[in-house]
């Protein structure tokens, strides 16, 4: 690889001058030398060694991002928001997938710290795991102590800047909707127990039911991977245990799509025989058939805000932005079927069309 001094030699100037021309330094250089340097760069196909530059320059520019999986639409949308702001500010993003492995998350914090990122964003659910949480916080604190900025998306653990989707309120919305439609036998297709996102959404759901004097017994909940196959499998287990279910609340859209697949395979009509609710409103939700009724989270906006927090001026006190969830009515949730409706408490409401598309 050609180096800067190769370029300088070829142009007959000092490395200092070559560097100034290449980086458009504020220090003036005569046009003649400039030309010679640029010609040498072109001839040698010179590309500066990024590591050497980063090492020599003091200011850090890249931003590190840790997500569970960028190819998961939930994170893809968040990342889109992160990117938008970062690109506007000429920042490079280093994105790492933890695949929901706490150890890998810890490693990535180190890795990104080692890469001298100016800021760190952790997106995705936290864990109910004290040991891990403490370790993570130590690492983050160490990073912040050296001037790094940190923001989290959807995690309670960290005590700094945060963008929090209102998972609990979203769960509440879902629960209220199903109650309003007259459902009593509601099964829940949940993500891993250890994730705070799971428990938060579940708590909201529970609250809505209990306001109606109902309960959500553990027997009506199945925990599985937070993806399509997990949803399919949990739904199957749920139906096997309790064929009388009239509604299924999935704790994210991927699981809801898996639930729909299982229901289709078993010949159960949605929403005539059984209703399904999703969570997140990922883009594909409107394209499945029937279109998914779900709880929308402003995913892109979450990314935008987190990046803005981290790239903006630091605030003396940690800022926590809670972003509201919103119910999106489409076609998978309907009134409880006639045969079982009689037992329901409140009158079923008329279904409305999708208010958003």
Site for DNA, rule CB under 7 A: 1, 3-5, 12-17, 19-20, 22-23, 25, 27-30, 32-33, 46, 48-49, 52-53, 55-58
Task: Judge contact between 328 and 355, C-beta under 8 A.
Answer: yes
CB nearer to DNA: give 45 or 317: 45
CA angle 24, 27, 30 (to 5 degrees): 85
CB nearer to a copy of itself: give 1 or 342: 1
Partner touching 58 among a copy of itself, DNA, none, CB below 5 to 8 Å by kind: DNA
CB nearer to a copy of itself: give 151 or 288: 288
Partner touching 70 among DNA, a copy of itself, none, CB below 5 to 8 Å by kind: a copy of itself
Residues at the site binding a copy of itself, with contacts judged by CB under 8 A: 1, 45, 47-55, 70-71, 73, 76, 79-80, 94-95, 110-111, 113-116, 138-139, 142, 145-146, 228, 257-258, 260-261, 264, 283-284, 286-290
The packing angle between helices 15-23 and 4-11, to 10°, is 100
Task: Look at the block and give the residue holding tokens 């906006």.
Answer: 301
Report the distance separating Cα 304 and Cα 61, nearest Å.
18
For the four alpha carbons of 311, 315, 316 and 318, in that order, the dihedral sign comes to negative
Q: How far is the CB of 108 from DNA (least distance, A)?
A: 18
Report the distance separating Cα 81 and Cα 311, nearest Å.
13
Partner touching 142 among a copy of itself, DNA, none, CB below 5 to 8 Å by kind: a copy of itself
Report the distance separating Cα 352 and Cα 88, nearest Å.
39
Partner touching 261 among DNA, a copy of itself, none, CB below 5 to 8 Å by kind: a copy of itself
Report the distance separating Cα 197 and Cα 157, nearest Å.
12
* DSSP type of residue 195: B
Partner touching 79 among DNA, a copy of itself, none, CB below 5 to 8 Å by kind: a copy of itself
Report the distance separating Cα 222 and Cα 250, nearest Å.
10
Partner touching 19 among a copy of itself, DNA, none, CB below 5 to 8 Å by kind: DNA
Partner touching 111 among a copy of itself, DNA, none, CB below 5 to 8 Å by kind: a copy of itself
Q: How far is the CB of 110 from a copy of itself (least distance, A)?
A: 5
Q: How far is the CB of 82 from a copy of itself (least distance, A)?
A: 12
CA distances, 353 to each of 144, 149, 249, 336 (Å): 48, 44, 19, 17
* DSSP type of residue 291: P
Report the distance separating Cα 146 and Cα 16, nearest Å.
30
Q: How far is the CB of 239 from DNA (least distance, A)?
A: 55
CB nearer to DNA: give 10 or 158: 10
CB nearer to a copy of itself: give 196 or 294: 294
Residue 341 region, left (φ>0) first, then alpha (ψ -120 to 50), else beta?
A: alpha
CB nearer to a copy of itself: give 55 or 315: 55
**Could you tell me the end-to-end alpha-carbon distance of the chain, in angstroms, rounded to an integer?**
54
CB nearer to DNA: give 44 or 194: 44
């Amino acid at each position: 690889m050609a180096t800067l001094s190769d370029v300088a030699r070829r142009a007959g100037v000092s490395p200092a001058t070559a560097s100034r021309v290449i980086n458009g330094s504020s220090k003036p250089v005569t046009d003649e030398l400039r030309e010679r340097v640029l010609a040498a760069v072109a001839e040698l196909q010179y590309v500066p060694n990024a590591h050497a530059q980063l090492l020599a320059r003091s200011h850090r520019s890249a931003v590190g991002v840790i997500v569970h999986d960028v190819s998961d639409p939930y994170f893809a949308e968040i990342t889109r928001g992160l990117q938008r702001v970062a690109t506007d500010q000429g920042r490079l993003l280093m994105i790492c997938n933890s695949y929901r492995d706490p150890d890998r998350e810890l490693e990535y914090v180190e890795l990104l710290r080692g890469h001298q990122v100016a800021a760190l964003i952790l997106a995705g659910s936290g864990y109910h795991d004290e040991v891990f949480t403490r370790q993570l916080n130590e690492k983050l604190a160490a990073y912040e102590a050296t001037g790094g900025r940190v923001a989290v998306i959807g995690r309670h653990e960290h005590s700094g800047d945060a963008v929090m989707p209102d998972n609990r309120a979203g769960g509440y919305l879902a629960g209220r909707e199903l109650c309003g439609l007259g459902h009593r036998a509601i099964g829940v297709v949940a993500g891993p127990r250890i994730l705070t996102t799971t428990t938060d959404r579940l708590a909201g759901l529970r609250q809505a039911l209990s306001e109606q004097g109902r309960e959500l017994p553990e027997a009506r909940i199945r925990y599985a991977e937070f993806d399509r196959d997990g949803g399919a499998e949990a739904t199957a287990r749920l139906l096997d245990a309790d064929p009388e279910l009239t509604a299924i609340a999935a704790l994210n859209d991927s699981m809801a799509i898996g639930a729909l697949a299982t229901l289709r395979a078993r010949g159960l009509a949605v929403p005539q025989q059984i209703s399904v609710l999703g969570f997140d409103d990922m883009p594909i939700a409107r394209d499945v058939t029937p279109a998914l009724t779900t709880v929308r989270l402003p995913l892109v906006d979450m990314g935008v805000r987190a990046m803005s927090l981290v790239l903006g001026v630091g605030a003396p006190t940690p800022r926590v932005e809670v972003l509201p969830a919103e119910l999106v009515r489409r076609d998978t949730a309907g009134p409880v079927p006639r045969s079982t409706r009689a037992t329901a408490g409140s009158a079923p409401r008329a279904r409305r069309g999708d208010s958003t598309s």
